[in-house]
Structure 1
Amino acid sequence: MRTNKYVKVLQLGMQNEMEYRANYWLQMAGFMLPIMTQIFLWLAVFGSSGQARVLGYSLPEMLVYVVMAGVTGKLIATGFEYEIATDIKEGGLAKFMVQPVHYFAYRFCRFIGGKAVQSAVVLLAAVILLLCLSLDGHIGFELSHILLYILALPGALVLNFVVYYALSGIAFWVTESAGLFYTLSLVIYVASGTVFPLTIFGDALARLFSLLPFSYTVFFPVNALTGKLTVLEAAKGIGVQWLWIAVLAAVSRWVWQAGLKRFVSVGG
C-alpha cells in the first residue's frame, strides 16, 4: 500500500505535466531559443578570434556544451519551491501532517513523474539538434562520453531536487519568498554552468564553484559528455554528487524540522 501510494503520486506528476498541453509545447519550443542564440554566438566568437580553443574548449566541444547545458538545465529544473511556499503560507501543508504521506517523498515522486514526461521530449530535441550539427561537420561523439553523461545525470537530477527542497524551507521564515527564490535561482543558474562554462570566470572563481554543489548539476555532467573528464575524474565527480546529496538531505531535514515548529495552519 505504501509503495502504491507513491506510485500514484508519480503518476499524478506525469498527468500534471501534460495538463495544459499548449503551454507545455510552448515551453518546450521556448527553451530551444536560448540554445540557438548561443550556438550562433559561439560560432561568431570562434570565427572572429581565429583561435582553435576558447576558454579551454574547441569549437565542437563548445557547441556540445551549449546544447547539452541548456538541455541538462531543463531536465533538472524544479519550480516546486513556489508550490511549497504556497503550501506553507496558505496552510495547505497541514493536510500532509495528518495524512500518511511523507511530504519529502510526495514532492520527490511528483517531481520525478513530471520529469519522466518532460525528459523524453527534451532529449529527443537535443538528439535532433546534435545530429544536425554533426551532419554539418561541427561535432562528433564517443560512446564512452555518452555513457559517462548518462551515469552522471541521475545524480544531477536528485542533487538539484535536494538543493531546492532545502531552500524551500526559507518560506517558514519569509512570508513572501517568491522574489528570494527567483534571485537564488538566477545565482544557481549561473553557478551551475548553465549559461556559460564556469571557466569563463577565471581559475580562482572556477575552483570556488567546484567546491559548491551547483557545478555538479550541469557543468560536471556536460563536461563528461564533451570528453573533458577522464573515467576516474567522472567517477570521482559522481561520488561527490551523491556526497552532496547526503549532506543537503540532512540539511533540508534540519531546516524543515526547525521550520515546522514555526508553522501555523491558517486557511487551507
Structure 2
Amino acid sequence: NFDRGAFISYYLAAVIVRNMTGVWFIWEMDRDIRFGELSFRLLRPMNPIIHYMALSLSSKPLRVVLLVPATIIVLLYVPGVRLTASPALWIIFMLSLAGSWAILFLTQYIIGLFGFWITQSLSLNDVWFGVYSLCSGYLIPLSLFPPALRQAFEVLPFQYTMSLPINVLTNQLTSGQAFGRLLIQWVWVLVFYSAYRFVWLRGLKRYSAVGA
C-alpha cells in the first residue's frame, strides 16, 4: 500500500541507491578492447579489473556530498517522507549497497568482456539495462507487479541490486528479513564473481590468440 509519502520515500531511496551503486565504465572498457589499449593494461602488475573498479568508485564521494544535503532537505520539507531510523537496518543498508554495486559492476564487466568475441557489447549492455530497470524495482516498486511476476523476480538477481537496499532504507523489511535477503544478495555476488573469472580467462586466451 503506497500513499503519497511512501511513493516519495521510495523514489528518494531509489535515487540514493542508483547514485551509490551505478556503474558507467563499459564505454571505456569497450574502447580499450577494440583499440588494443587493454594490451598496455595487461603489461601492468595489477589485474585490469582494478582500474575499472577505481574508475567506477572515483565519483562516489562527490555523489555523497551532493546526496546528503538534498536528502536532508526532502526529509525536512516534504510531508510524509520517511527513511529508517534503525541502526541495524542502516548497517544492513550499507552492506546491501556494497553488494548491489558488486553485482552491477561484475555484470557490466562481464558484458564488457564479451567485446573479446563480438562488436556489439554496448548494445548488449543496453538490453541488460532495460531488463534491470524493469525487474530491479528501479522504475516501478516490485510490490506493484502481479503475484506471478513477483515470484519470478524472487529467483532472479535484479531485486538485489535496487529493491533490497530501497526496502531496507524505507523500513519495509524487519531486521531479520533484511539480513536474510542480504545473505542471498552476497551469494549472487559470488555467482557473478565466478562468472567473471570464467569469462575473463577464456576471453584473455582469445585476445592473446589474435595477437592483441
Q: Structure 2 length normalisation: TM-score?
A: 0.89
Q: Structure 1 length normalisation: TM-score?
A: 0.71
Percent identity for Structure 1 against Structure 2? 28
Query: What is the CA-CA distance between 1:147 and the residue it aligns to?
Result: 4.4
| Cα displacement string for residues 115-143 of structure 1 (whole angstroms, at most 9, x for unaligned residues) | 2222321333233223221xxx3233441
Give 2:51's aligned residue: 106
Give 2:182's aligned residue: 238
Distance in 2 (CA, whole Å) between partners of 1:142 and 1:183 is 33
Cα distance change, pair 98–66 in 1 and its aligned pair in 2 (3 A): same
Give 1:225's aligned residue: 169
Distance in 1 (CA, whole Å) between partners of 2:83 and 2:67 is 19
Give 2:39's aligned residue: 94
Query: What is the CA-CA distance between 1:146 and the residue it aligns to?
Result: 4.1
| Cα displacement string for residues 42-65 of structure 1 (whole angstroms, at most 9, x for unaligned residues) | xxxxxxxxxxx3xxx343222211
| Cα displacement string for residues 7-51 of structure 1 (whole angstroms, at most 9, x for unaligned residues) | xxxxxxxxxxxxxxxxxxxxxxxxxxxxxxxxxxxxxxxxxxxxx
Distance in 1 (CA, whole Å) between partners of 2:84 and 2:143 is 23
* Residue from 81, 97, 114 that aligns with 2:26: 81
Give 1:140's aligned residue: 82
State the SS of the aligned residue for 1:262.
helix
1:47-196 correspondence to structure 2 within 5 Å: 53=1, 57-133=2-78, 137-144=79-86, 145-196=89-140
* Counterpart amino acid of residue 229 in structure 1: L
Cα distance change, pair 188–197 in 1 and its aligned pair in 2 (3 A): same
Larger Rg: 1
Given that residues 136 and 161 in structure 2 are in contact (C-alpha distance below 8 angstroms), is that contact kept between their aligned partners in structure 1? Answer: yes
* Counterpart amino acid of residue 182 in structure 2: I
Distance in 1 (CA, whole Å) between partners of 2:188 and 2:198 is 15
Matched residues, number:
208
Distance in 2 (CA, whole Å) between partners of 1:103 and 1:124 is 35
* Counterpart amino acid of residue 13 in structure 2: M
